[in-house]
Amino acid sequence: MPYMNVGKENSGSIDLYYEDHGSGKPVVLIHGYPLSGASWEKQVPGLMAAGHRVITYDRRGFGRSSQPTTGYDYDTFAEDLRRLVTTLELREFALVGFSMGGGEVARYLGKYGSQGVSKAVFISSVPPYLLKAADNQEGVDLSVFQGIEKAVAADRYAFFTDFFKNFYNTDLLLGKRVSDQAVHASWNLAAGASAAASVACVRTWYTDFRKDLPRIDIPTLVLHGDADRILPITASGLRTAKLVKGARLVVVEGGPHAINWTHADKVNPELLDFLGQEKSAQSLTGARM
């Protein structure tokens, strides 16, 4: 599948790997840390079967995309996304972000507006603001993020091993809703990411999206597990749903961070209902003609 250029670092080109499948109304899926577009494999078939054109891409530094040492901030991530939708000439497309990917959705809509965007979805997402501050007492102390950053820099492979335990809540769900092999596959994806990106992205987790979210003026769905140990629902999903006017909140009972994998049986119907069953609608229209 193709690559798209989004810039240069010294003499090297910065290219994003993306996949573009199916036909119909476009849906852009934006992955979380430290994975790639491949992490959407439980959603892509259903979206295509429902009549959607599905685009996934690897954020800079991850998956098959280039691994520069620059550009790890949400203004740049949103600009990369803007390049993608402009290059593909997408119209009436939906943006679906998981975890870190929700930051792209928020910053894109806050920065560029909703022209051309039909709907927005936040799944286990990082907004609105995770850092504890005078005006954000619900946040997490900076020292926690600094500790994570040091741990990733010291031995990211060991960090990822512990990270995925809480990503999937393996103490409760291993062998039930996620296999050891799936967890290992996620570790492999993470290990293949840029070392620089793995460290630099930690600071992006406490980006302030509180001004971006109220600017969203399109139908919005917020999906979050109530057992999320990476981004607790009280700090993220519930607050995001309140800041986006008219947002629809769906709480996945017992859902960990990676509900798009462990609870795909709950997430996918909600996602398809929100985005629309295009083939079913087309068939119904045709039958009435």
Q: How confident is the model at residue 278 (pLDDT cuts 50, 70, 90)?
A: low
Tell me the CATH architecture of domain 3-288: 3-Layer(aba) Sandwich (3.40)
Would you list the domain boundaries of the chain?
A: 3-288
pLDDT, position 277: 72
At 70-92, the pLDDT tens digits run 999 999 999 999 999 999 999 99
- Residue 284 scores a pLDDT above 60: no
The encoded tokens of residue 113 equal: 């507006």
Print burial letters for 202-217: b (CB count within 10 Å at least 16), e (below 16). Answer: bebbbbbbbebbeebe
User: Active site includes 21?
Assistant: no
228 included as an active-site residue: yes
Query: Cβ-count burial of 263 within 10 angstroms (0-12 exposed, 13-18 middle, 19+ buried)?
Result: buried
**Does the pTM exceed 0.75?**
yes
Nearest to 29 by CA among 105, 87, 86: 105
Catalytic residue among 31, 52, 224, 257: 257
Exactly one of 36, 39, 65, 99 is catalytic; which is it? 99
Which residues are CB-contacts of 224 (< 8 A; sequence separation ≥ 6)? 122, 123, 124, 125, 231, 233, 236, 237, 238, 249, 250, 251, 252, 255, 259
Average the pLDDT over 222-248 and give the result. Answer: 97
Rounded to whole angstroms, how far apart are CA atoms 21 and 47? 10
Q: Does pLDDT of 282 surpass 50?
A: no
Is 257 labeled as catalytic in the residue annotation?
yes
